[in-house]
Amino acid sequence: MSRILPTVVHLDADAFFVSVEQALDPTLRGKKVAVGGRERGIIASASYEARACGVYTPMPSKLALKVCPDLILVSHGHGQYGPYSRRMFDLCESLTPLVQRNSIDEGYLDLAPCGFKTLPEIETRVRALQQRIWDDLQITASFGVAANKLVSAIASKAHKPRGFTVVPPGAEAEFLATLKINVIPGVGKKSEIRLEAAGIRLVRDLFARTETELQDLFGSTWPEVLAMARGEDDRPVAVDEEDAKSYSTQETFSRDIADFTEIERIAKRMIDELMPKIREDGKRVKTMTVKVRYPGMEDSSTGRSLTEATDLEAPFYPLVKPLLQAAWTKRRPLRLVSVRFSSVETKGGQLEMFGQNEDKQRRLAAVLDKLNERGRKSVVQHGHQLGRQPE
């Protein structure tokens, strides 16, 4: 594969949850900060200062406080990560329409449609995006620019935080050669130890091996491993509509909850939390997925779709109970519940499909959204109001 310009960008927000907390409370900047549950929780994100003190993710919070007694532990209760993530990716979409979100804080951009002519032009535009994310959101992200996904993803991690690494086409193998072998996807902790014992510590150590030796080390996948070590990858940046545009929220409980009614109430509240954002974005959603987690990180989830996409709370309420029953099959208390809406459609064109009653509900919902915007927590919850509306 030969491209003249490196048009694939990987961006990865630096210590994302902590960065958002620092954006919300700048007094946390430059300090040993971590986001995680206090009681029996784990560290979900740690500032670079906290990492220097020995805090990593995922690590039990208790242990983190032991190795770093002056750690400032912030619980993830603000519900702001989703909105910050969306705003970050919206900024990316102002540069190129081809954005693949991999997770809340990380994704790929393909600049091919932008028509940039030179490498300096690409650099300038991507640096401007990095700056814009900082200016608008006060969070930092690291960028890798290369000819393909594999190399850009490795490049974005090469100099964190606030990293900016460009690998010109043709220089992939040279860039990877001196990096540790664990940059190759699939080489985890276990393989790393095994490979190191065999004298392979850096990517370039692979090139000194014969085919037979490589076969012994990696089995039948050795040609793929070798291709990756050379920086070869032809996967396209895939804009996954459903993943790119989904709305979700989750809550980790400070104590495990066994009461079905309580979980049902929390899940309904999540619908009430998410739907105003969906209306605000001018979207409708069709599919709801409920995920539950037992202590010990074991997840189970089920989803169901409506026949029509909607931006109202009420049509999803009746799904909560059956979805929860289907997901929560083990008779054990839960650690976490999450609700996600997907199959996102943009409003417009289909308005005539909706009856008058739904129109009325939508107007009421809009009024409630406005009231809630003003930050009056005492305002009646959407759910309870709309829940009583006739279908």
Other C-beta atoms closer than 10 Å to the C-beta of 239 total: 17
Q: Closest separation between CB of residue 12 and Mg ion, Å?
A: 4
Name the 3-class secondary structure at 299: strand
Burial class from Cβ neighbours inside 10 Å (0-12, 13-18, 19+) for residue 278 reads buried
Which amino acid is present at 23?
A
Catalytic residue among 21, 49, 106, 264: 106
Question: Would you say 106 or 311 has its CB closer to Mg ion?
Answer: 106
Sequence-distant (≥ 6) Cβ neighbours of residue 165 within 8 angstroms: 142, 143, 144, 145, 155, 156, 158, 159
Sequence-distant (≥ 6) Cβ neighbours of residue 62 within 8 angstroms: 40
106 is catalytic: yes
Question: Residues touching Mg ion: how many (CB under 5 A)?
Answer: 3
Q: Closest separation between CB of residue 163 and Mg ion, Å?
A: 11
Radius of gyration of the chain (CA): 24
The stretch among 4-12, 188-196, 256-264, 371-379 that binds Mg ion (CB under 5 A) is: 4-12
Q: Is the peptide bond before 58 cis (omega within 30 degrees of 0)?
A: yes
Question: Would you say 105 or 313 has its CB closer to Mg ion?
Answer: 105
Q: Closest separation between CB of residue 272 and Mg ion, Å?
A: 29
Q: Closest separation between CB of residue 162 and Mg ion, Å?
A: 12
Taking the C-alpha atoms of residue 63 and residue 302, their distance in angstroms, rounded to an integer, is 34
Burial class from Cβ neighbours inside 10 Å (0-12, 13-18, 19+) for residue 329 reads exposed
Question: Would you say 19 or 361 has its CB closer to Mg ion?
Answer: 19
User: What mask, x for binding Mg ion by CB under 5 A, covers residues 5 to 24?
Assistant: -------xx-----------
Taking the C-alpha atoms of residue 105 and residue 117, their distance in angstroms, rounded to an integer, is 29
The reply to whether 137 sits near Mg ion by the rule CB under 5 A is no
Residue entry with tokens 């999450």: 338
Question: Would you say 104 or 368 has its CB closer to Mg ion?
Answer: 104
Q: Closest separation between CB of residue 18 and Mg ion, Å?
A: 10
Question: Would you say 13 or 133 has its CB closer to Mg ion?
Answer: 13
Question: Would you say 183 or 267 has its CB closer to Mg ion?
Answer: 183
Name the 3-class secondary structure at 4: coil
User: What mask, x for binding Mg ion by CB under 5 A, covers residues 84 to 123?
Assistant: ---------------------x------------------
Q: Closest separation between CB of residue 106 and Mg ion, Å?
A: 5
At 308, list the tokens: 């029509």
Q: Is the peptide bond before 161 cis (omega within 30 degrees of 0)?
A: yes
Count how many residues are written for the chain: 391
Active-site positions? 106
Binding site for Mg ion (CB under 5 A): 12-13, 105
